[in-house]
Amino acid sequence: MIINIFLIIASTIISLIGIFYVYFNRENLGNTLSIILNIVLFLFLGIFFFASFLLSTETYFSEDIVLILWYISIIFWVFSISILSIIQKYIIKFEEKTVFSTIFYSFIIGIILGLAFLSDSFTIHSNNGSYKFIFQNLLLLYLLVSYNTIIFGVMSYNLIKYFPSIRDNKSQKLISILTFQFCFIISLYSIYIITQNIVFQYLYVTFYLLGAILATYFLIKKPFLFIELTNKIHDFIIFHRSGILLYSYNFETGEETDESLLKGSILIGINHILSNFIDRKDQLNLIKMKNRDIILEYDNTHGYALLLTANHKNTFIDKAVNSFMTQFTSINGDKLKNLNGLIDVSEFRNAKEIIIENFEPFLIKKQPNK
């Protein structure tokens, strides 16, 4: 009993750290839906499931109480691994249209929970100071194990499918570690509910806590891992209203570029956009192409515009662009207002520091020389 209470407290503390960090840093952790799902996952898996799962084995409680706790643990388990699968997909590639997967998950969860609450689904046995739950309804056991296997397969498939498109090697390694860790945990849980062997229970609890600590550590220390890993920024260009290139940065190479390296058609197109929209109220802010979005933001007061190309626009990029322009204008406002005649664009090289500060998840993570 004392050991289980200690483990529950440890898991609760880890989960609360994760919840508070996600909440207080929500501005820097991607879209709102993903943030909500992360908080719900910490609550469901790290607190509600983990506590009910461990307490359901305690002979300190009556059989009626532990049976309720066992039911509760199953409820939060199936919801938790569904949320985990969705979060992993959103981290790798965010897609709002998840209607089919939501309907499928809901259908399977509904059947599992319906079967779980049948009066003869389990029998309880007390052995060596703990309770064991024997499945009398084998269909429930098959469905629960099958659902675990499906989630395992979906997470593995998502990683394999999008692995080559992930932004950098470091992110590839870290998301692979997390995916393997949670797939392994799902496997241990499946083995435990089949065998009811206390060794697998201990293994599950141990690896779950290690996984929770690892995930929370990555969340705090490496938040770039949670910003849609397959979405990439390509070009970042700042132009004066006169059409002069003030600064350009290539996210794919991690290097600054100059006007001579930009294709003439790009410069002509940018100048056309600037001349037609920089002083208008109905400014063009987004051009959607087949494989990427062109994002445009203007500062009419200081006479410059920012053009950014990315796989697609999202909330994080919007916030980063607005933050960049606020800082860039604050630092270079006087220079921009007084630009005339021959312009020394080297004065705007300070843009790189502001890019690093605001677009860190999209920067090339260079490997150290061996």
Q: pLDDT digit string (tens) for 65-98? A: 888 898 899 889 998 998 999 888 888 887 655 5
The answer to whether residues 18 and 37 touch, using CB atoms and an 8 Å cutoff, is no
Which one-letter amino acid corresponds to residue 312?
Answer: H
Give the phi and the psi of residue 25 in degrees, each rounded to 5. Answer: -115, 25
- Spatial neighbors of 40 by CB under 8 A, at least 6 apart, are 83
Cα–Cα dist 147/306, whole Å: 47
Asked whether the CA dihedral 74, 80, 85, 86 is positive or negative, the reply is positive
Set out the domains of the chain in order of their start, with CATH numbers. 2-226 (1.20.1070.10), 233-362 (3.30.450.70)
The answer to whether residues 40 and 5 touch, using CB atoms and an 8 Å cutoff, is no
The per-residue pLDDT for 47 is 94
The per-residue pLDDT for 366 is 57
Closest to 258 measured CA to CA, from 269, 268, 270, 245: 245
Question: Which letter does DSSP use for residue 164 in this model?
Answer: G
Helix runs in the chain, H state only: 2-24, 32-41, 50-55, 63-92, 99-116, 138-162, 169-195, 198-221, 264-277, 315-337, 351-358
The DSSP-derived string for 265-321 is HHHHHHHHHHHHHTT-SS---EEE-SS-EEEEEEETTTTEEEEEEESS--HHHHHHH
Average pLDDT over residues 160-167: 90
Tell whether the model's pLDDT for residue 324 goes beyond 60.
yes
- Spatial neighbors of 318 by CB under 8 A, at least 6 apart, are none
The per-residue pLDDT for 214 is 92
Cα–Cα dist 234/180, whole Å: 30
Cα–Cα dist 87/226, whole Å: 9
Confidence of residue 151 (pLDDT cuts 50, 70, 90): very high
Least confident of 89-103, 145-159, 161-175, 237-251: 89-103
The pTM assigned to this predicted structure is 0.81
Cα–Cα dist 355/115, whole Å: 54
Least confident of 226-235, 307-316, 336-345, 348-357: 336-345
Tokens of 42: 């910490």
The per-residue pLDDT for 6 is 93
* Residue pLDDT, tens place only, 286-322: 778 878 888 888 888 888 889 899 988 888 888 899 9
Tell whether the model's pLDDT for residue 10 goes beyond 90.
yes
* Residue pLDDT, tens place only, 86-131: 888 888 887 655 555 666 677 777 777 777 777 677 778 777 667 7
Confidence of residue 370 (pLDDT cuts 50, 70, 90): very low
* Residue pLDDT, tens place only, 183-194: 999 999 999 999
**Cα angle value 237/242/247 (rounded, 5°):** 25
The answer to whether residues 175 and 228 touch, using CB atoms and an 8 Å cutoff, is no
